[in-house]
């Protein structure tokens, strides 16, 4: 099977920086889109950033200019560099990948376990 594991959550002060990473492992044949969602208590789930297999990125308006998404196709990883963090960035962050598994012809969406990001003084 395919599994996505997240790293890098934690507690930071407003204005600080944090980097999240997500690694896909298992029977991976090809990864198309990858990205990050987040959800805070009482709020709807929000797509933060996504990146295609050829490196085309898209960002939510609330994080443009502050966050940068990148991927390493050789290692099947996607990262989110978060700068100038604000308290409203506090949420659980989930990575996802649209992945075709080995010996299959169609792709499916896989999810990371979620990691807590807290921005507070």
User: DSSP readout, 47-73?
Assistant: EEEEE-TT--EEE-TTTTTTEEEEEET
- What's the pLDDT score for residue 1? 86
Flag residues of the chain having pLDDT under 50.
none
> Tell me, what's the pLDDT at 49?
98
Residues of the chain above pLDDT 70, percent: 100
- Provide the percentage of residues in the chain whose pLDDT is more than 90: 93
Instruction: Round to whole Å and give the CA distance between 101 and 104.
Output: 6
The sign of the CA dihedral 105, 55, 35, 12 is positive
**Residue count (the chain):** 121
Which residue is listed with tokens 């960035």?
89
Tokens encoding 82: 């978060």
């Amino acid at each position: 099977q395919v599994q996505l594991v997240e790293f890098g959550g934690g507690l930071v002060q407003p204005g600080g920086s944090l980097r999240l990473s997500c690694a896909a492992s298992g029977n991976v044949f090809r990864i198309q889109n990858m990205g990050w969602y987040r959800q805070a208590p009482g709020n709807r789930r929000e797509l933060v950033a996504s990146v295609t297999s050829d490196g085309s990125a898209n960002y939510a308006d609330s994080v443009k200019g502050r966050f940068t998404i990148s991927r390493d196709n050789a290692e099947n990883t996607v990262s989110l560099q978060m700068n100038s963090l604000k308290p409203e960035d506090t949420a659980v962050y989930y990575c996802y990948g649209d992945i075709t598994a080995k010996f299959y012809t169609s792709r499916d969406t896989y999810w990371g376990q979620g990691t807590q990001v807290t921005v507070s003084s």
